[in-house]
Every structure is written in structure tokens, then in C-alpha cells.
């Protein structure tokens, strides 16, 4: 335990800093959380959800796994989705990939690491679905980064196909699903141009997004740099 004293000390000074600004901050949070956003992102240590969008504790509900994958049979992710939508009533779901993703690169290159290969098979399905798009690029770096982008588009689709999301839309609950890609090299979050707020929008937006994406240079997002 002594080896981690520095973390406990950092925690104490962090909490003291917040209390100095707002003495009631933690008291308020202990009674309820009311985040407007669900973040579904990669587990990569360089992609810390709250810090990237500068949100405080209580403002962002977070689910992270290797390569930000949304699998229809993953009870962990499904439980997060259900709680976020039905109990917390988040208004926005952000699927956030990132350039330089080790999981996406391993999937792209068929690198095997035992158990995780099974998980990355989901990303390889995305790769295989868009093989011709990836083959048209001239180097591996661009192919990996484009697969990071395509993976976001596909995972946004999985969120939108989910029953929990569709039920929310059917009962008129405001809920928009977005796709972003973060660049660990410059700290900037890029909007993939996906913003889906109903079942009707889902198919058209997703198809358009892939077509628009293919026409854009790799790593070009819609946010100002
Ligand atoms: Zn990653």
C-alpha cells in the first residue's frame, strides 16, 4: 500500500482544491448524479474522458473498453446503456474512438495477443466490411487511422440498433448518438459528422457518413484545429 501513497496524496490535494472553490461540491454529488452525456470510449490511458471535454465529476457517465467496441451481447456495455438511458436519462451518447489506437492497429495488422484477439475480432469485422476503402489508401498508418474512423461509424450504428436506444426513441425521449475521434497527438476531438436522434435518421446518416468519410482525407474532422 505504501507504494501508492503518492496517489493518495494527489487525491487529497485534488479534493481539497475542489472544496476550496466550492465547499458543497462533494455533498451535492453524494446525493445524486445527473449527467447529460454517456461517453463510450477506448480504455487507452491517453484518452481520459472527463479531462478531454473538461467536465467535472457528475457530468459524464463513462464506459470504456479496448477499441471502444459496442457488442450486442456485451452485458457490461448493455447495462451501462440501460442505466444511462432509463435511469439517468442522458441526452447524448458519444462514441469516441482515437487515432493511434493500439487495439485497432492490432486488429488491422492481425496481431494476436491471446484472449484479446477474440475481442478485436469485432474490429476486424469492421475492417473486412470496408476492405476496399482501406485498400485504396497508400500506407499502413492511414489505413489504421481510417479504420479508427470507420470503427466509430460502425459502433455508432450498433448503439442505434440497440433495443434500449430504440425504445427510448419510440417513447419520445430526447436522445442523440454522436461519433467523435480524438487525436492523442494534438488533444483535439473531431466530429465525425454523425448525429442520430431517431430511428428514421439512422440508416441515412450512417450510409452518408461512410460515403463522406471516404471522400475526406484521413484524420480530417469537422472541429477547428
Ligand atoms: Zn484505443
How many secondary structure helices (H) and strands (E) does the chain include?
10, 5
**Structural domains present in the chain:** 1-31 (no CATH), 35-215 (3.40.1050.10)
Alpha carbon distance 33, 89 (integer Å): 11
What's the pLDDT score for residue 74? Answer: 97
Mean pLDDT of 20-36: 93
> At a CB cut-off of 8 Å and minimum separation 6, what does 186 contact?
225
Give the three-state DSSP class for 61.
strand
Alpha carbon distance 181, 40 (integer Å): 11
Mean pLDDT of 145-174: 96
Residues classed as catalytic: 42, 44, 46, 98, 101
Cα 41 to ligand 1 centre (Å):
8
Cα 209 to ligand 1 centre (Å):
21
Residue range 51-85, pLDDT digits in tens: 999 999 999 999 999 999 999 999 999 999 999 99
Cα 187 to ligand 1 centre (Å):
14
Cα 171 to ligand 1 centre (Å):
34
Evaluate if residue 145 carries a pLDDT over 90: yes
35 and 90 in contact (C-beta within 8 Å)?
A: yes
Whole-prediction pTM: 0.93
Amino acid at each position: 500500500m505504501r507504494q501508492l501513497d503518492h496517489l493518495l496524496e494527489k487525491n487529497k490535494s485534488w479534493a481539497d482544491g475542489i472544496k476550496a472553490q466550492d465547499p458543497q461540491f462533494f455533498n451535492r454529488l453524494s446525493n445524486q448524479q445527473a449527467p447529460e452525456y454517456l461517453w463510450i470510449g477506448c480504455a487507452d490511458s491517453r484518452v481520459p474522458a472527463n479531462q478531454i471535454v473538461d467536465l467535472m465529476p457528475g457530468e459524464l457517465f463513462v464506459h470504456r473498453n479496448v477499441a471502444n467496441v459496442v457488442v450486442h451481447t456485451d452485458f457490461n456495455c448493455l447495462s451501462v446503456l440501460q442505466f444511462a438511458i432509463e435511469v439517468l436519462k442522458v441526452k447524448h451518447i458519444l462514441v469516441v474512438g482515437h487515432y493511434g489506437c493500439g487495439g485497432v492497429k492490432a486488429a488491422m495488422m492481425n496481431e494476436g495477443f491471446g484472449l484479446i484477439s477474440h475481442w478485436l475480432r469485432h474490429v476486424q469485422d469492421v475492417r473486412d466490411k470496408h476492405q476496399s476503402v482501406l485498400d485504396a489508401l497508400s500506407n499502413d498508418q492511414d489505413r489504421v487511422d481510417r479504420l479508427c474512423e470507420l470503427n466509430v461509424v460502425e459502433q455508432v450504428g450498433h448503439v442505434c440498433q440497440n433495443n434500449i436506444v430504440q425504445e427510448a426513441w419510440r417513447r419520445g425521449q430526447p436522445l442523440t448518438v454522436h461519433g467523435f475521434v480524438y487525436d492523442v497527438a494534438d488533444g483535439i476531438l473531431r466530429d465525425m459528422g454523425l448525429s442520430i436522434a431517431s430511428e428514421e435518421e439512422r440508416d441515412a446518416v450512417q450510409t452518408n457518413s461512410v460515403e463522406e468519410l471516404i471522400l475526406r482525407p484521413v484524420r480530417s474532422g469537422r472541429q477547428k484545429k
